[in-house]
Amino acid sequence: MNRAHEKTHFWHDTTLDNLELLHATYVTHSFAPHTHEGYAIGVVTTGAERFAYRRANYVALAGDVVIINPAEVHTGQAHTKQGWTYRMLYPDAEQLRRVATQMIGDEDAYPFFPAAVIHDPDTAQQIIGLHKQLEMGMDSLSAEVLWHTMLTALISRHADEQRPLTSPMPRAENRLVQQALSYLHDNYAAAIRLQDLADTVALSPFHFLRLFKAELGLPPHTYLTQLRIHRAKALLNAGQPIAAVAQQVGFTDQSHLSRHFKRIVGVPPGEYQADIR
């Protein structure tokens, strides 16, 4: 089996707040370390996926549920040469917060899932069933009922009520790193240098680099690249031309965007945009 057997299908469901979904088979593709702005929830349906997450290594086998919390660094690749197929949902954090609020009454808590790989056949079948029906197309009421039912089961069974997330955004315990994050988010399209970041927090480049990576698990240039990719996805969703998107988010040209986009999203930007439109 080789790259020719890889296939992806991205789409958005407008009934469910423009929920992004993915049905994909990967064999040789390897995801670079990255984060999601919302949750990543899915089920491996065939094969096995290996990934690093929260300073540990995991293998998700066929039938396993995979959950990645917002802003958490992770990777992804095949565990065997046969690759893996999975069905993924990428809800924004507000969608899960609203359901959790209805369940426990805390309006400021976002569910935190301590386990990245879960063996729960009932929940797995709920996710797969919903995903398949959304892929084929279904009426709004049915979609909303199945979506709410699945999230309620997922949160009640697997979220840690004692450790909710207070924010889905990346937050650093160190105030200097948080200050640097704010600078990156405000200036992501600019040509930022390491010295610029170090100057914002009055540290040497050497000390700043060590502090940033220790706090977030990514060096600043990798964090900036994925931030640009997040912004690029939003612009591609809006139908903007790829070359214009590359310029708007700070890449030198379209090929530069395409190279990084595929490593993080799993497909080139043109294929992603064609899928979701």
pLDDT digits (tens, 9 = 90+) for 179-204: 999 999 999 999 999 999 999 999 99
User: Are 139 and 208 members of one domain?
Assistant: no
Q: What is the pLDDT of residue 217?
A: 87
Q: Which residues of the chain have pLDDT under 50?
A: 1
Q: How many residues does the chain have?
A: 277
- Assess whether 209 and 145 both reside in one domain: no
| pLDDT, tens digit, 9 for 90 and up, residues 56-78 | 999 999 999 999 999 999 999 99
Contact 189, 250 (CB under 8 A): yes
Query: How far is it, in rounded angstroms, from Cα 250 to Cα 257?
Result: 9
Residue 134: predicted pLDDT: 96
Q: 185: how many CB neighbours lie within 10 A of its CB?
A: 14
Domain with 210, as residue range(s), is 175-276
Angle (deg, nearest 10), helices 220-237 and 205-216: 60
Please check whether residues 127 and 13 belong to one and the same domain.
Answer: yes
- Asked, for residue 133, whether it belongs to a domain, the answer is yes
Q: What is the pLDDT of residue 1?
A: 38
Same domain, 149 and 15: yes
CA–CA separation, 189 and 251 (whole Å): 8
3-state SS string over the chain? CCHHHCEEEEEEEHHHCCEEEEEEEECCCCEEEECCCCCEEEEEEEEEEEEEECCEEEEEECCCEEEECCCCCEEEEECCCCCEEEEEEECCHHHHHHHHHHHHCCCCCECCCCCCEECCHHHHHHHHHHHHHHHHCCCHHHHHHHHHHHHHHHHHHHCCCCCCECCCCCCCCCHHHHHHHHHHHHCCCCCCCHHHHHHHCCCCHHHHHHHHHHHHCCCHHHHHHHHHHHHHHHHHHCCCCHHHHHHHHCCCCHHHHHHHHHHHHCCCHHHHHHHHC
Residue 165: inside a domain = no
CATH of the domain at 213: 1.10.10.60
Please report the sign of the dihedral spanned by the C-alpha atoms of residue 181, residue 182, residue 185, residue 189: negative
Same domain as 203, residue 152: no
List, in order, residues 6 or more apart from 240 with CB less than 8 Å away.
248
Structural domain contains residue 168:
no
Assess whether 35 and 131 both reside in one domain.
yes
For the entire predicted model, the pTM comes to 0.91
* Predicted pLDDT of residue 3: 55
Yes or no: say if 69 and 154 are a contact pair by the CB < 8 Å rule: no
Looking at the fold, whether 123 and 257 belong to one and the same domain comes out as no
Domain count, the chain: 2
Determine, yes or no, domain membership for 186.
yes
